[in-house]
Amino acid sequence: MADLRNNFVGIKSPNPFWLASAPPTDKAYNVERAFKAGWGGVVWKTLGEEGPPVVNVNGPRYGAIWGADRRLLGLNNIELITDRDLYVNLREMKQVKMNWPDRALIASIMVPCEEEAWKAILPLVEETNADGIELNFGCPHGMSERGMGAAVGQVPEYIEMVVRWCKQYTRMPVITKLTPNITDVRKPARAAKAGGTDAVSLINTINSIVSVDLDNFAPNPTVGGKGTHGGYCGPAVKPIALNMVAEIARDPETYGLPISGIGGVTTWRDAAEFLVLGAGNVQVCTAAMTYGFKIVQEMISGLSDWMDAKGHRNLDDITGRAVPNVTDWQYLNLNYIAKAKIDQDSCIKCGRCHIACEDTSHQAITQFVNGVRHFEVMEDECVGCNLCVNVCPVENCITMEELPAGVMDQRTGKPVDPNYANWTTHPNNPMARQAAE
Amino acid sequence: MGTTQSGILGGRLPLADYETNFSDLHPALDRHEALVASDRCYFCHDAPCMTACPTSIDIPLFIRQISTGNPIGSAKTIFDQNILGGMCARVCPTETLCEQACVRNTAEERPVEIGRLQRYATDIAMKENKQFYTRAASSGRRVAVVGAGPAGLACAHRLAVKGHEVVIYDAREKSGGLNEYGIAAYKSVDDFAQSEVDYVLSIGGIEVRNGQALGRDFSLSDLAEQYDAVFLGLGLAGVNALRIEGENAEGVDDAVDFISALRQSKTKADIAVGRRVVVLGGGMTAIDAAVQAKLLGAEEVTICYRRGKEHMNASEFEQDLAASKGVTIRHWLQPKRIALKDDKVAGIELEYTTLVDGKLTTTGETGIIAADQIFKAIGQTFEASGLGSLAFEGGRIVIDAEGKTSLPNVWAGGDCVVGGEDLTVSAVANGRDAAEAINRAFAAAMPRASAVA
């Protein structure tokens, strides 16, 4: 059995599956249920400063997009941080941590961008025996309009400043949660590191309008005839999150900075992908909100079974393993040549590969051969783009086959060069020519 | 070339037809089909399918594990509750259990294919001979299990996991019980029952003694003396008699013997079957016999049942299966007399029945159906000897909620107990639960410090 125990910046949990700061972690009741179901840790729903708590809308807070069979693919929410009294939350956190000493309990915090505000709340949180804090610099709706959440996360200087205050006023590990609503996620990550953060977590939700009610001409979810942008999450956002995690994992300036991966983790496989791209653990929300806390059982067994099958003993064996293989486009091997190949035995003759190639790509797949419908790759036209593989409804019917070195590429009429060569040295690259001179 | 000659003959069909006719009833799902089928599961909370399963398999979890590409983890979820999950996937009447409970029925009258998905996962794990369980340290306790059928095997496996030594006694030559001898051939192809027995026994710590019959070779009191506990997982060896004229004539056979002979024969063409066959009964045995008679090339096969369609024990799916194979099912007909010609079966005279004040009565009208073979499938009885003073009720063994019988250290489950449901999956649940009860009893009897339950 693979060892799934997680040690994230010194915070220990029995597995790498934490619940993200969100509605599922707003109360002791929910969190206790989550721990009973097997979650390794929770990031408690974001605490605000002392005083009257925020209020939430009392109409719909969520919108969604679905597959044809109502599989939830993306969720959008306009709920704010906790609307319960700070001291109620702190009391419950302390009790829960006492009941579940082996699980991770992290406090998410969002207070105004003033030193005094942070200085005031940190000792209160410390008193709960929470294992760490997460700075919510990501929430894209409501709070950002008040100068908090994403409004801080979009300004690297603010991030650095707040992280520095936190490191100064608490002994607890600091995890800085980043917003994806920014052009280059490396900038806030570098700022967090400069401020001394112990880790970053990402992504928070993405600004979105999930759909529009065409009868009432208003965005969904519609509250009294009006809608607003919300935070998008769920399976649909995973590719964006994976890229942002990888960007930080391979940035020389933030290389080695621990990352808690968030964004659409629904199955063990999603989690494994975040881990190998450099995440030390993952945080989950939408999957739990869709299927209930029991979903973690599938994630735990699936990750463990996969690790066993591949001989990976513990999380350190896999964390970051794919990072060296993430590179910039300019370093991809231009002498690597692959051609699509259609397995005629599994082809169902739908013609989608042909029309995708014919209409939108390189006219490299036949429609008729000897007057009969027959789909076959013409190697002298195929650039190896992989579009046909992606549109084919039959898994493994079309595969990309690497041309071995020395074999003639019928498209170019040249044999495959065995040597690695990329754009930086390519004759067509004006920059390369300059460098050569 | 086959033959339509009258009488009871083998080789009624061209040879190639036998293979087609006796191939897998529900072919295995391939990977893509399994992914599409699993995608339909809603991962219901407190899932009705799980409640409907006598062994309480966590169906939503195992299906989700298939959908996330983890069939091995899925198989473990199944085997944790039901070590015979492979056979149950093939023979369970899912249409009256898990699949009937599926919430998809409400919206679209098409449940998630739970049975076939269960087979998909268990097939993969068993093909890889993936072993999920290891034995606990030896407890030094020895348990005798009588009957190597579903109840006995499930009990023995769970006991072995707990570290106890098990000896299984079975009267038959092969282990498996009804899985080996009592299920239609097209539900268990490729000798699956024996592969499953081997898979279950590979846990270790289980010795099987075949050809050992209770009452003939040993008695319950012998076992009680030699072992720390005994589990009785006996099948129903007796067959109900028709008690009508001509019953002993040549051509009147027990359906269970026919089904068993079919399972044991390597070449189905050797199995003799009548040109015109009548099957008496309304349960799964009647359907299995009738369908297979038809598949062997019988020209005309009629099931006669003495009550209405709604009273049949065979599920709707099984009735439809029989109809689709060309079997005629007739209701409200009770056997009156076997008609003979030259001492051989020539037909059966039946009397129409009706319900009067809820009581089955004959109407006095009769009719004759021509037949050269008649199968009796009107129920089986528990016929065991060597059980000493064990308490019975209505011919079956009395047990309490824990599966314990009236005698100390003797447990029982499966078809032989009061309330036995004549289902593989229920027998598995009985055996498994009795093993847990035996383990608890051992733990309770031990000094506190070393109790392991």
SS3 A136: strand
* Interchain contact B72–A (C-beta under 8 A): yes
From chain A, which residues contact B within 8 Å (Cβ)? Answer: 69, 71, 267-269, 291-292, 294-295, 297-298, 301-302, 304-306, 309, 394-395
Tokens describing residue B396: 């079956």
Question: What does the alpha-carbon distance between residue B146 and residue A189 come to, in Å, rounded to a whole number?
Answer: 68
**Which pLDDT value is given to residue A145?**
78
Average pLDDT, stretch A23-46?
Answer: 98
Shortest CA distance from B43: residue in chain A: A291
Tokens describing residue A111: 């207070």
Query: What does the pLDDT look like over B415-428, one tens digit per residue?
Result: 999 988 889 999 99
ipTM value of the model?
0.91
Return the H-helix or E-strand segment holding A260: strand A259-262
Interface test with A, best of B61, B62, B64 (most A CBs within 10 A): B64
* Interchain contact B43–A (C-beta under 8 A): yes
CB-CB neighbours of B365 under 10 Å: 10
SS3 B150: helix
Q: Å from A435 to nearest chain B CA?
A: 48
SS3 B407: coil
B442 Cβ partners below 8 Å, 6+ apart? B139, B141, B164, B228, B229, B453
- Model confidence at A434: pLDDT above 60: no
DSSP string, A43-71: EEEEE--SSSPP---SS--EEEEE-TT--
SS3 A411: coil
Tokens describing residue B219: 């008695």
| Residue B383 pLDDT level (bands cut at 50, 70, 90) | confident
Residues in chain A: 437
Q: CA-CA-CA-CA torsion for B150, B155, B161, B164, nearest 10 degrees?
A: -140
Q: Å from B43 to nearest chain A CA?
A: 7
| Residue B449 pLDDT level (bands cut at 50, 70, 90) | low
Average pLDDT, stretch A201-224?
Answer: 95
Question: What does the alpha-carbon distance between residue B227 and residue B233 come to, in Å, rounded to a whole number?
Answer: 16
Q: Which residues of A are catalytic?
A: 139
Query: What does the pLDDT look like over A378-427, one tens digit per residue?
Result: 999 999 999 999 999 999 999 999 999 999 999 999 999 999 999 999 99
CB-CB neighbours of A102 under 10 Å: 11
Interface test with B, best of A33, A305, A308, A394 (most B CBs within 10 A): A305
* Interchain contact B104–A (C-beta under 8 A): no
Beta bridge partners of A373: A368
Q: Where are the alpha helices (DSSP H) in A277-386?
A: 286-291, 295-310, 352-360
Average pLDDT, stretch B254-275?
Answer: 95
Which residues in chain B are contacts of A71 at CB distance < 8 A?
39
**Which pLDDT value is given to residue A144?**
77
CB-CB neighbours of B389 under 10 Å: 8
* Interchain contact B70–A (C-beta under 8 A): yes
Question: What does the alpha-carbon distance between residue B120 and residue B111 come to, in Å, rounded to a whole number?
Answer: 17
Please tell me the pTM assigned to this model: 0.93
End-to-end CA distance of chain B: 63
3-state secondary structure B80-119: HHCCCHHHHHHHCCHHHCHHHHCCHHHHHCCCCCHHHHHH
CA B169 to chain centre: 19
Query: What does the pLDDT look like over B220-262, one tens digit per residue?
Result: 999 999 999 999 999 998 999 999 999 999 999 999 999 999 9
Span of A362-371, A423-432, B226-235, B281-290 with lowest mean pLDDT: A423-432
Q: Parallel, antiparallel, or unpaired for β A72-77 and A62-66?
A: antiparallel
Which residues in chain A are contacts of B68 at CB distance < 8 A?
267-269, 298, 302
Question: What does the alpha-carbon distance between residue B102 and residue A311 come to, in Å, rounded to a whole number?
Answer: 37
Question: What does the alpha-carbon distance between residue B269 and residue B407 come to, in Å, rounded to a whole number?
Answer: 48
Average pLDDT, stretch A163-167?
Answer: 97
Helices and strands in chain A, H and E counts: 13, 22
- Say whether A301 and B64 touch across the interface (CB within 8 A): no
The minimal CB distance from A267 to the residues B32, B68, B77 is found for: B68
| Residue A437 pLDDT level (bands cut at 50, 70, 90) | very low
Q: Å from A291 to nearest chain B CA?
A: 7
Shortest CA distance from A291: residue in chain B: B43
Q: Å from A292 to nearest chain B CA?
A: 8
| Residue A282 pLDDT level (bands cut at 50, 70, 90) | very high
Q: What is the mean pLDDT of chain B?
A: 95
Amino acid at the residue A414: K
- Say whether A69 and B39 touch across the interface (CB within 8 A): yes
The minimal CB distance from A269 to the residues B45, B69, B72 is found for: B69
